[in-house]
Chains A and B, each alone.
Chain A
Amino acid sequence: MGWDTIEALLFDLGKLVFVAYFLLFVLSVFVERKVSSLVISLMVLAVANGAMTALTPLLYELASMPGLFYKFLWYGVFVFIDCIAIFLLYKFHNLLRQSVSSIASIIAVAFLALASIQTLRFFDRFVSNTEVFQLVYQYGVPMINIMLVPLIAIFWAVNLKSANKNVQAAPG
């Protein structure tokens, strides 16, 4: 499989990622039937990804204009949304007094990784002019977004299984 095929596949899957996050969120509301760390995490993930997806065409248009500020806007807005998403994860868990699950931790790490990649790419492209992180940026960002879907599904299944086991093993 060549790079072109991988790139086309990543691009196509990337567009579906928001739909997958949203479906996972709706499913979590029906399965959990109460406010939980999973519901909070998936809601923040869907909202943050939705905002990024909605802003991408506008930012792309702006970034194609001449001037460093417009290029900065492309990276800056994404880093800002990543930062806000982590803050919202913390704030909602704190306000709703929910224990932070492993899925919430994974999603926060993913946002942190995305923000770091955006910052590194900006440095690489406009400060050091080395173009070392081009591939990391090109494939890393969609890869992280896509990988989150199976990771969340696996951890959710494991958590459900261990919760069922605890109910069965509970004394009484």
Chain B
Amino acid sequence: MSWLFFLILLLINMLAFYAYRKLSLMRSLSQIQAEVELEMQSRAHQLLVRRDQLEVGLVKEASEQADEQWKGDLAEYMEEFEQEALLRAKQRLTRI
């Protein structure tokens, strides 16, 4: 009988560990998202700084080429941003 009670306790412990694993998984997902957010924010900031420089006229040499380059980088950023949003939506919908 004592073994049966012990096994019941062990089963509840395993369920507790399972819930803990899920919580840990959520923690790692949150950390990845926070890192991605920080990286995207930093890139957006860099793009804005470059735009300001272009508008003020700090980038004198080949300004048209620099403008094209900036537009290309912005398009790339927007595309990655959209993909990231889709990925996160997918993650949240299928999360655990």
Contact = CB atoms under 8 A, between A and B. Distances in A.
Given A99-B30, A122-B5, A76 B23 contact: no
A90 B9 contact: no
A99 B30 CA distance: 5
B9 A105 contact: no
Interface string B1-44: 11101101110110111011011101100110110000001100
Contacts of B9: 72, 75-76, 79, 118-119, 122
B96 interface: yes
Give the residue among B3, B6, B96 with the most A Cβ atoms within 10 A.
Answer: B6
Given A94-B96, A115-B12, A100 B30 contact: yes
Nearest to A76: B9
Nearest to A89: B23
Mostly helix, strand, loop or mixed at chain B's interface? helix
A119 B12 CA distance: 9
A45 interface: no
Given A99-B34, A126-B2, A127-B6, A93 B16 contact: no
B12 A83 contact: yes
A72 B5 contact: yes
A150 interface: no
Interface in B20-75: 20, 22-24, 26-27, 30-31, 33-34, 41-42, 45
A80 interface: yes
A69 B45 CA distance: 64
A94 B95 contact: yes
B23 A68 contact: no
A79 B13 contact: yes
A86 B12 contact: no
A112 B16 contact: yes
Contacts of A68: 1-2, 5
Contacts of A75: 9
B23 A83 contact: no
Nearest to B38: A166
10 contacts: A76-B8, A89-B19, A90-B26, A93-B23, A93-B26, A97-B92, A111-B16, A115-B13, A126-B5, A127-B3
Interface of B: 1-3, 5-6, 8-10, 12-13, 15-17, 19-20, 22-24, 26-27, 30-31, 33-34, 41-42, 45, 92, 95-96
